[in-house]
């Protein structure tokens, strides 16, 4: 069953700033998350409840899963070195 995917304002802004080829790959990965919120290669974020990260090349997509609502909220899309700052 499909999950609804939402991007925070910050994540939407970060997505818009990505180079076109990377943006295409990230959008494809986001679409796949709606079908499988815990794909192969996903990692749980320590210290945050129901928060996970998935890799897309050198970039990371950070998101939370709300199981009962069948909803995914993406709150960060950034290069690895910046993705985990200020969490």
The CATH code of the domain that includes 52 is: 3.30.2310.20
On the question of pLDDT at 86 being above 80, the answer is no
Query: Is residue 46 in some structural domain?
Result: yes
Q: Which single residue is written with the structure tokens 């499988």?
A: 36
Query: Is residue 73 in some structural domain?
Result: yes
Chain segment 6-48, per-residue pLDDT in tens: 999 999 999 999 999 999 999 999 999 999 999 999 999 998 8
Question: What's the number of domains the chain is made of?
Answer: 1
Q: What is the pTM of this model?
A: 0.92
pLDDT at residue number 23? 96
What is the pLDDT averaged over residues 54-83? 95
d(CA 49, CA 24): 28
Query: Is residue 50 in some structural domain?
Result: yes
């Amino acid at each position: 069953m499909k999950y609804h995917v939402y991007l925070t304002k910050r994540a939407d802004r970060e997505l818009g700033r990505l180079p076109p080829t990377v943006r295409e790959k990230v959008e494809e990965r986001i679409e796949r998350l709606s079908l499988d919120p815990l794909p192969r290669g996903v990692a749980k974020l320590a210290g945050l409840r129901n928060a996970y990260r998935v890799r897309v090349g050198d970039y990371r997509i950070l998101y939370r899963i709300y199981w009962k609502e069948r909803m995914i909220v993406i709150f960060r899309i950034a290069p690895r070195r910046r993705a985990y700052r200020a969490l």
